[in-house]
Amino acid sequence: MNDYARGPLSGLRVIEAGVLLAGPFCGQILGDLGADVIKLEEPGKGDPMREWGRERPYGKSLWFPVVGRNKRSVTLNLRVPEGQEVLRRLVADSDVFVENFRPGTLERWGVGPDVLWEINPRLVIVRVSAYGQSGPYAGRAGYGSIGEAMGGIRYTTGDPDSLPSRVGISIGDSLAGTFAAVGAMGALRVAEATGRGQIVDSAIYESVLALMESLIPEYALGGYIRERTGSILPNIAPSNVYVAAGGDMVVIAANQDTVFRRLAETMAQPELATDPRFATHTARGRHQCELDELIAAWSVKFTADELLELLHGNGVPAGRIFTAKEMLSDPHYVAREAIVRLDHPDFGEFPMQNVVPKLTATPGGIRGVGPELGQHTDEVLHDIGGFDGEEISRLRASGVV
């Protein structure tokens, strides 16, 4: 009986054959929740994420320890028949198989879903790609940036007077990985009940589209195309970034009528709440620029700390714009253990974001940073694949692992 000591997915085994971010982010989520995630990587090269990131002390990425956390690394060449046979033996006793190759790749290698289900009928197969496993674009090469463009978030992000902007993180890949993990957990529930696995088809562009609110009916029913609006939320006011004394930036969100009245009182300008230009939600939306100018003229008289003390004391939602510097020292982050620190063999103490969401009874956790390339090859092949020492040595000598 599983005691769920490592998290709600404790006892599940996941084989991850993805690279870069979309597939591996799905694996990261499942591992955070307790699954045993075995990451398959190309011998001698590994996941390109091992080389990505802005700073690389000691020649190593600061990104891979995060996306590779809670995983065991096995080197395996899936392009050769011997490597494909190893995969078949590993999935025989696994619950989930995650891949993010271009659609059709597994089938060319002779390890498509039908083959894997003959070995393990209850296997959940998670397939993450730019465009999905079907449709006229399925065979195209694609990265997260293309899915973000096609899904709508690129067009709506940035300043209206400039080209569409990137969000600042690999949001398309991460969303596809997140929805893939949600789909995997849903499919696992069905597999437990029926003994049959299924395909979880997570497309980057559709994962982005899923977050686009009412963008589709706005155009289909009203002929309106949502445009880039910079820092404001159109017709929702006040909800913007305001500068405090010294240049610090604070977000103030007081668009609800009752909250705006509290903001007006905090500003010592209670008459704003009854001013016809600002008295209702609709009126504030029409006079958004005027209202922002009034608040900006007030906010700059105070330091950020003074401003936040006033706003919080009067029940007005507000907050600093954080960088990593603030996150590492903020008392709320500390109290919630939003950032954890682990040991890294090269970097020593290594801080990273904690598991989300928090489960009270079976919270999961981070058991270790991303492993060295091939660190667990021998133990996984022996313990799970049933390979003996002689077989493993032969696979290594031929470059399969």
Res 158: pLDDT = 92
- 305 catalytic, yes or no? no
**Other CB atoms within 10 A of residue 235 CB:** 13
**Location of structure tokens 């075995």:** 38
SS3 category, 289: helix
* pLDDT at site 57: 67
Predicted local distance difference test score (pLDDT) of residue 1: 40
pLDDT (0 to 100) of residue 111: 96
Position 357: which residue type? P
Three-state SS at 320: strand
Residue 388: CB atoms within 10 Å: 10
The full set of domains in the chain, from first to last, is: 13-211+339-397 (3.40.50.10540), 239-322 (3.30.1540.10)
285: left (phi over 0), alpha (psi -120 to 50) or beta: alpha
- List the one residue out of 123, 91, 138 whose CA is nearest residue 200: 123
**pLDDT at residue 2, rounded to an integer:** 59
Contact yes or no for 352/342 (Cβ under 8 A): yes
Classified as helix, coil or strand, 340 is strand
Q: What is the DSSP string of 203-246?
A: EHHHHHHTT-TTHHHHHHHH-PPP---TTSBTTB-SEEEEEPGG
| Long-range residue pairs from 153-160, CB within 8 A, at least 24 positions apart, any chain | 153/208, 153/211, 153/212, 155/226, 155/227, 155/228, 156/212, 156/215, 156/226, 156/227, 156/228, 156/229, 157/228, 158/228, 158/230, 159/228, 159/230, 160/227, 160/228, 160/229, 160/230
pLDDT at residue 363, as a whole number: 92
395 phi/psi in degrees, rounded to 5: -65, -40
CA distance 7 to 39: 19
The pLDDT of residue 83 is 96
If you count them, how many residues does the chain have? 401
Q: Give 225's contacts (C-beta < 8 A, 6+ positions apart).
A: 218, 219
Are residues 252 and 305 in contact, defined by beta-carbon separation less than 8 angstroms?
Answer: no
Q: Cα separations (Å) of 27 from 82, 126, 210, 305?
A: 24, 10, 21, 40
Q: Taking the model in full, what pTM does it have? A: 0.91
Shortest CA distance to 356 belongs to which of 331, 371, 341, 336?
Answer: 336
Q: Can you give the pLDDT at residue 69?
A: 97
Alpha-carbon gap, residue 266 to 260, rounded angstroms: 10
The whole-number pLDDT of residue 36 equals: 96
Q: Tell me 12's DSSP state.
A: -
| Per-residue model confidence (pLDDT) at position 334 | 95
Q: Is 184 left (phi over 0), alpha (psi -120 to 50) or beta?
A: alpha
What Cα–Cα distance (Å) separates residue 245 from each residue in 250, 263, 298? 11, 18, 10
* 116 secondary structure, DSSP code: H
Amino acid letter, residue 71: K
Catalytic residue from among 32, 95, 173, 292: 173
Q: For the residues of 28-74, what is the DSSP string, one character each? A: HHHHHTT-EEEEEE-TTT--GGGG-SS--GGG--SSHHHHTTTEEEE
Residues of the chain with pLDDT under 50: 1
